[in-house]
Amino acid sequence: MKRFFIKGILFWFVLLILAILNAVVREATYKPILEPLIGNWAHQISSVIGILIFFIAILIFIKSVKKDYSKKDLIIIGIIWIVMTIIFEVFMNVYIRNLSLIEVVETYYFWRGELWIFVLLSLVISPLVADRWIRK
């Protein structure tokens, strides 16, 4: 296995820590204030913040691997990150939070205002954008 993929898989744990910190900040600060006033917007704001935080972290990661990758590798690592994230989310939501699989799937319903699917898509798009940004 290429070193890039090993580094990328290990880097996913950094993304996991950032996601948990983002959720803790949301739950402890602005969600209690916003939820009674504007409903689910705290999760939407948190999703946008998560995308931005992930992009910055991914940019730093891509800079640190020093072109030890191809564009195909960037897409593959993004897909690996999505798969790892979905596995973690399903495990956490079903076995720790005791949600049903249907409730977990509903977090992907963007037409109901859920932005989680865009967070996942950003995991594939961000490495490509970061690479392009670095090459400029």
> What's the predicted TM-score (pTM) here?
0.91
* pLDDT, tens digit, 9 for 90 and up, residues 40-77: 788 889 999 999 999 999 999 999 998 889 999 999 99
Strands (DSSP E) along the chain, which ranges? none
C-alpha to C-alpha distance for 83 and 134, rounded to whole angstroms: 26
* pLDDT, tens digit, 9 for 90 and up, residues 75-127: 999 999 999 999 999 999 999 999 898 998 988 888 888 889 999 999 999 99
